[in-house]
A and B are shown apart, each in its own frame.
Chain A
């Protein structure tokens, strides 16, 4: 069955604008409708796996009109977005009862989902920017949703840095249009292949890397993330850390670098350097934190470093003309780590929300001994921690293993060593979480703390099951060839993207 691709953007968008009409009385109806929207997106994303199509909006053919492109990489990201948004939306049913204006929250949430789906599907670089802004602006509002002093400050900081990133991207789009005369990614790529990179286009590539790097919070550009992600309500932290920085940052960056400009040795090294820097700096900064959600936010920076490192390593091997098998292995590791991180980091943020809801604090020094009071939260948190630290049966282990194997095969032994070392740091920081939050003595004032409510538990258990089962994505050959390999192939094919799109 072929689904009209705009449905991925239209369903959340239409629902988002319907919800405020319900007002204060129809809160239950609005919640049901919003959940229906995310679940239907999940179903559509699962159905669309393995397809690759081009959709011309309004039947205008490509150089003139706008097109949406569904290929392996897009459908992988769509799957990640819809899984995390379904879980986060289900979690918010009960969690967001603490806040006022739930209908507005649901509406902004769906707008953010629409923006992310749009970024992933867009085949036109200016529309990519427009959808990126929709998702970013919705997330600025959601970070400040609590309207407390700290949240507004974090939201303002995020907004200023996010807007700088957007301006970089807009300038780069303008430069690309001026130099190639097209906004369609396939046609830009064709123009670059025939005439080569000139100074303006090289500068545009630099601006793209800086702009998308800001959105992805890679290390020199990471200053906004440790404030913004902890301040948001927990399901939004899960969405931001789980998928937003990946779609707006890593996906857009890899799409532009691999499929539009073409990977070169210097960009490959740049991506590796950014990845390594994020990994090491993020891990060191995370270990010292005493705020539960802030620790997880720093760990997101570190984990995103793995993704960029894997993709950069693959790109470098391709650019140097090395063995394509090891290049695809490195990219497979990076992309698989992206999906894994989406699942376990959103689970970690949901558990932190459940802890914060029952204890009323995020400071780990004031907690302890919650294991008996919140058994399910504790169990899911252990699964997620084991997964992120790379303990064998869980998903995180497989992606890190693939990255290490790829690095050793391509004789980047020091990179493999750093991957293992950062993995150890990750283990330390999550042991710290277990020790100070769930073990130890229960303080007097937390005797009354209760386990999370039904809908929150269901969302956490759903993600925890995925954490355990995700390893099957690489271990079962038929799943791998359907979900991950097409995504890897999009990146290893590089500039063949343009001829494929134009001929499709």
Chain B
């Protein structure tokens, strides 16, 4: 038996897209509305957790292989550090918002404004989404095997 009943599977296969999109929205509008990279990343991870609960672990592993998730995780952190270093190169100080000060001085409350902050949100979203997914996936590796007798397990230990 893999995953849950057909009702749960159908509903979650509709909902997962909405959850994922909502996560992307929260990340992209992080500088304008409540939320941001961290909150959006958690929602992205939640969409995969939903799939994992409904369809089982193997399905999710095919959908998003662990090495890929691990690399996305590192990529997010790397991008964030890169934005900081670009601030040093173009703005003269670490973490300077060089896009806003020099190249893209957008109006407040527009989507394209706030310089490097949306980019940082994007990097954090990637990092948090991938690493939270990995954390929950790793936690789900340990499970109780109901079929085999528990006394054999104790001997193995």
Contact = CB atoms under 8 A, between A and B. Distances in A.
Interface of A: 4, 6, 10, 13-14, 17-18, 20-21, 23, 55-59
Interface in B67-116: 67, 70-71, 74-75, 77-78, 81-82, 84-85, 87-88, 91-97
A21 B71 contact: yes
B78 A17 contact: yes
Contacts of A17: 74-75, 77-78, 81
A59 B95 CA distance: 8
Q: Report which residue of B70, B81, B85, B91 has the largest number of chain A beta carbons within 10 angstroms of its beta carbon.
A: B81
Contacts of A18: 74, 78
Nearest to A59: B93
21 contacts: A10-B81, A10-B84, A10-B94, A13-B81, A14-B78, A14-B81, A17-B74, A17-B77, A18-B74, A20-B70, A20-B71, A20-B74, A21-B71, A21-B74, A55-B94, A57-B95, A58-B87, A58-B93, A58-B96, A59-B91, A59-B92
Contacts of B75: 17, 21
A21 B67 CA distance: 9
Contacts of B92: 59
B98 to A, nearest CB: 10
Contacts, number: 47
A56 B78 CA distance: 22
A147 to B, nearest CB: 13
A443 B16 CA distance: 65
B94 A57 contact: yes
A10 B96 CA distance: 14
Contacts of A10: 81, 84-85, 94
Contacts of B93: 4, 55-59
Contacts of A56: 93
A11 to B, nearest CB: 10
Contacts of A6: 84, 88, 94-95
A18 B91 CA distance: 24
B83 to A, nearest CB: 11
Contacts of B85: 10, 14
Given A14-B85, A17-B81, A58 B95 contact: yes
Contacts of A23: 67
A56 B88 CA distance: 12
Nearest to B127: A17
Nearest to B94: A6
Interface string B21-54: 0000000000000000000000000000000000
Contacts of B84: 6, 10
Contacts of B77: 13, 17
